[in-house]
A and B are shown apart, each in its own frame.
Chain A
Amino acid sequence: MTGMIRSWPLALTAAVIAVLVILPLLLPNFWIANILGRSIAYGIIALSLTFLATYGGFVSLAQTMIAGVAGYTIAILAPTAIPAGAGWSYGLAIPFAILMATLAGLIVGAIAVRTRGIYLLMITLALAVGFSLFVQSNVELFNGYEGIRNVVGPDVFGMPFRTPLVFYYVSLATAVLLYLGVMYLVRTPFGLVLQALRDNSRRAAALGYNTALHRIAAFGAAGFIAGCGGVLTCFYNIGISPGSVGMGATVNILIMSVIGGLGHPIGAFIGALIFTLIDTFAASIYDRDRFNTLIGLLFLVIVLASPDGVLGIGKKLAGLFRRKERSAEAAPVSPAQASPAQSEH
């Protein structure tokens, strides 16, 4: 696995970030905020899923729900919200919202830690839908079906958060920090144990590592990431409603992660970008009415043809050119290809 990290050298990362920083100078506002900004914000939620899948072997469908915990927390606390809530300042509310998401991640981890693989998928899906039904039926705190609106976000350097450049750069900075954080985390002792647990939990447990604790901590870290995404998407959507955390939203995040590729964290952002482009322009390139068929087909083709998503396709293409120099380096095993749960239990 570390080999793969080395294959994404620092220089390339820096170059991509530099391009993303310069890009707004070349693009109209719509592209800055509603294609790139939106992709990055949702990509962060997808990153939390990809992180768990890549390094922990967990495919959790609860990540949208956890982002929703942060989104609802900030919406309830935000100063401008309709209906009005606690009216905290954003300086307090944002960290608190992310903290709540981290806690929610830990709780999901605690529930899910005793089961893995395919059970995890089922359980997290059921939890996610249970949560969306709960916020839909609770009027007192979550304002039910209509949700909480007008969560505009803080002013940054005196400019409203919705200003395309502000939203874009804040999202980009958050995403870069989280991405680098993930890349760092997986090389720490904690990250290495997590990967050892993914590959062979019995052996890792035999070496004396606490399986449950590591896994719960991984869910906590993923909760933190999803929470950051949840706050950003809540500001982007100027509020949050049960639809933001429902089955459709949950599956959308899964689609982003899978299309991008579950083999490397960057896949989350690639997948989010592809999804956003299709979602935005489907009406122009294809009959909008059948958007779901289009996105479903793409999803299916990716799962069938390239379990590592477009990232995998890219690698294969790159591999064709470099076939000679590449020798027997073991290809990273994505959770979609193998099923750790089966081999162990």
Chain B
Amino acid sequence: MSKRNRKVAAIVTVAAAAVFAGPAHAQEEIRLGSIATLEGPFASGGQDGHRGITLALEEVNYEINGKKIVWTAESSNAQADVALARARKLIEQDQVDIIVGPLSGAEGIALRDYSRTLTGKTIVNGSSAASDTTLRDPSPNFFRFSTEGAQWMAGLGNYVFQEMGVEHVAVIANDYAFPYAQVFGFMVDYCRAGGKVTKLWSPLGTTDYSSVITRIPRDAGALLVIKGGTDALAFLTQYAQTGGELPIIGGSIMADQTLMSARGPHQRLMEGMISAGPIADIHDDPMWQEWVERYRERFPDGLQSPSIHGFNYYTNTKAILLALQEVGGDLSDNQQKFQQALANLEFKNPMGATVKLDENRQAISDIFFTRIVKTDDGLRTESFGRADGVDQRLGLSPEEFEKLGSPSRDNPSCPPVS
């Protein structure tokens, strides 16, 4: 209800500003635009992203240093072209100062390129997690305070080899950039520790995995499954159906609501599943508990526990607000002071992890190892370890990292010798 009112208010003020005020508006109010996926299969992620933005804005009561923050929300459908069209509308028609968004990888890269063409505007990532968005050809106007796919898996390879004692892992992943990055993050450590990896790629959108399952090597000690939503549910159900028993290591988007809330045989495989990523449902940091409490109170119809998208949108919006506070809401001079404040920001995200940026404006932060446990409310992820201050080069020097090459279907590689 209030959201709609705000929207209406925003439209009216924007229309008025366009006619009368011109660019002078920056002095009286700060315009924030958002792009999240509210259409199509990823809609539930986008809805949670909106909750994250709402929480952050309500903390400052939509106001910085006496200047009102006007929020204009736009929605995409996880397609790059659509995200770009929405961003153009926000910047050029609604004349927002800052955009928070988008949600998915290809959209993020499209907006990064768009942000490069802008002056005096800033785009802060929503929840997109493609490595290349900040790793290669970064844009000076694109900031990301959330960690990305490769970072999320940092340290997990060591854990699997040393603590779990698994020497051969079969990777079950979809054949595109995000899983490449996640597999890369896992394998950098795992191969170095001495582990062997067999990769079984399948095209995006595959729902019948029976032929993949038949190709799992007999001597594999665990499966690394980098999938989310429909694909993950399909694979795990079919694997359970064939009587599969191997322990599952999950990608960072695997333990989502689809899998946790759906009843079914995959739950047997899910319990005890190890994973890594920026959040865990159960985490004993008081900051996290307070934040989750607040989330539940504010959104009784929301998810049982905030999703990775809610968390990322919150963290990125929070960063915008902190930087705005630091400069007193001053966006003059092509936002130079504001962007400087963003670049130098150091704060704690709701998980209690310190966030700061590297020279490409990409977050350096902590990654958590998680395990799926059964609670009274069903399955939940619980943190049991962390990798501190993971940067985009996974702790390697620029030269060492460069030598690894970019993540792809075949890189890195440490196949078993047969």
Contacts and interface: CB of A to CB of B under 8 A. Distances in A.
Q: Do chains A and B touch in the complex (CB under 8 A)?
A: yes
Interface of A: 28-30, 33-34, 38, 82, 133, 136-137, 139, 144-147, 149-150, 152, 160, 162, 237-239, 241, 243-244, 246, 248-249, 279-280, 283-284, 288-289, 291-292
Contacts of B88: 30, 33-34
Interface in B88-121: 88-89, 92-93, 105-106, 109-110, 112-114, 116-117
A193 B192 CA distance: 69
Which secondary structure characterizes the binding site on chain A? helix
B73 interface: yes
B39 interface: yes
B75 A244 contact: no
Given A139-B409, A283-B74, A288-B75, A150 B137 contact: yes
B409 A150 contact: no
Nearest to B82: A243
Contacts of A289: 38-39, 43, 75
Contacts of B84: 237-238
A136 B204 contact: yes
Given A30-B88, A30-B92, A237 B409 contact: no
B75 A241 contact: no
A146 B106 contact: yes
B11 to A, nearest CB: 5
Nearest to B75: A288
Given A29-B92, A149-B110, A248-B77, 20 more contacts: A30-B89, A33-B88, A34-B88, A38-B85, A136-B203, A139-B408, A144-B175, A146-B130, A150-B116, A162-B117, A243-B78, A243-B79, A243-B80, A243-B82, A279-B85, A280-B93, A283-B74, A288-B38, A288-B75, A292-B39
Contacts of A150: 113, 116, 137
B259 to A, nearest CB: 22
A28 B203 contact: no
A160 B117 CA distance: 10
Nearest to B139: A150
B74 A288 contact: yes
A281 to B, nearest CB: 9
Contacts of A162: 117
11 contacts: A29-B92, A38-B85, A149-B113, A152-B117, A238-B114, A238-B117, A246-B79, A280-B85, A288-B38, A289-B43, A289-B75
A147 B39 contact: no
B132 interface: yes
Interface in B199-219: 203-204
B106 A145 contact: yes
Contacts of A146: 105-106, 109, 130, 132, 176-177
A56 B79 CA distance: 33
B106 A244 contact: no
Contact of A244 (B80, B176, B204): B80
Contacts of B176: 136, 139, 144-146
Contacts of A149: 80, 109-110, 112-113
Given A149-B113, A150-B113, A289-B75, A82 B137 contact: yes
Contacts of B82: 243
B64 to A, nearest CB: 25
Interface in B373-418: 408-409
Contact of A82 (B38, B105, B136): B136
A238 B116 CA distance: 11
B18 interface: yes
B285 interface: no
Contact of A133 (B18, B114, B203): B203
B89 A237 contact: no
A38 to B, nearest CB: 7
Nearest to B136: A82
B81 interface: yes
A147 B79 contact: no
A248 B82 CA distance: 11
Contacts of A238: 84, 110, 113-114, 117
Contact of A28 (B18, B39, B130): B18
A124 B38 CA distance: 30
A34 B39 CA distance: 21
Nearest to B117: A162
B177 A144 contact: yes
B106 A280 contact: no
A143 B89 CA distance: 27
A304 to B, nearest CB: 25
